[in-house]
Structure 1
Amino acid sequence: MSLSGCSFIQGLTGGNDANRDEQGNVQEQDNIDIFSLKLGDCKMADDTTGEIMQAEVVPCDEPHDEEVFFESKMADGEYDEAAIEVAGEVCYGQSFTDFVGVAWDDSTLDVWYLSPTEQTWNEMDDRLIQCIVTDPAGPTTGTLKGSKK
């Protein structure tokens, strides 16, 4: 789907994270630095056409648009946008099937992913791909894990 990145300057500011419980679950709606987004976080939709610097997270038991369902780290080396797109394909494969319970091709859900920009790759050693699932039918409450949608 869409490649999105994170701002180097934002990352240098130390960012801000949500109020989380002992298990790392978001406790209340908050606008956080994108580098504070974690596996399992639920969030409101972003404009996925450019760099994303902030994310509005909410507890997963509240209505939300998106959920981070898988993370993958890329190997070191030179920044390669084509390699990042290939790495992003993991979001549509077995990781999706394992999370939702059906293959992406058979699902009504959609996927996109966050990935490093050339700047974050080179200046922050950013190698993280985060897979995000969304329901085009509208906001969901609770996790989409095992939903078989």
Structure 2
Amino acid sequence: FATACGQGNAFDMEIGECFQEPDALEFSDVDKVDCAEPHDNEVFAIYNLTTPSLPTADVMFEGCVQRFGAAIGTSYETSIYYVSLFGPTQQSWDDLNDREVVCYVFLPEEKKRGSALGTGA
């Protein structure tokens, strides 16, 4: 799955897009790269929260884990990949009606080449 390379909005990602780990804890842009090139992260799921208030990070994480098997092809518990996410903050929830969670996979000690989607790894 090829994607456009260069700067991109972290909150305007698509499933199958690969990107490098941001340098700062708070950021709005990420360096998108072709998944064939060495990369840190790949988006595997995007979903919208339906709760009346902002859930905890653990609840958002569980939403990603629930979508993991269908995207990667194996259970999270047996996979080589780790999961993280971009989710709303209290401010974006209140001010922007932000409900989107972007789930991504990564390898903790190395960069990945190629897509993780459907690999069963």
State the TM-score, normalized to the length of structure 1. Answer: 0.71
Which of 34, 44, 63 in structure 2 is aligned with 1:69?
44
Number of the residue aligned with 1:33? 9
8 Å CA contact 2:68, 2:76 repeated in 1: yes
Which of 24, 40, 53 in structure 2 is aligned with 1:78?
53
Partner deviation per Cα, 1:11-32 (whole Å, 9 max, x = no partner): xxxxxxxxxxxx9x523x3122
CA drift at 1:76:
5.6
Number of the residue aligned with 1:56? 31
Consecutive unaligned residues in structure 1, runs of 5 or more: 1-22
8 Å CA contact 1:100, 1:144 repeated in 2: yes
- In 2: Cα distance, 1:61 partner to 1:44 partner: 13
8 Å CA contact 1:113, 1:131 repeated in 2: yes
- In 2: Cα distance, 1:117 partner to 1:52 partner: 12
What secondary structure does 1:113 align onto? strand
Q: Which has the higher strand share?
A: 2
Consecutive unaligned residues in structure 2, runs of 5 or more: none
- Code of the aligned partner of 2:79: S
> 1:88 aligned to 2:88?
no
User: Following superposition of structure 1 onto structure 2, how do residues 1-149 of structure 1 map, counting pairs within 5 Å?
Assistant: 25-27=2-4, 29-46=5-22, 50-75=25-50, 77-80=52-55, 82=56, 84-93=57-66, 95-149=67-121
Partner deviation per Cα, 1:61-110 (whole Å, 9 max, x = no partner): 22211000001101163334x2x5313212123x1111221111111110
What secondary structure does 1:35 align onto? coil
- In 1: Cα distance, 2:117 partner to 2:54 partner: 32
> Rg larger in 1 or in 2?
1
8 Å CA contact 1:64, 1:140 repeated in 2: yes
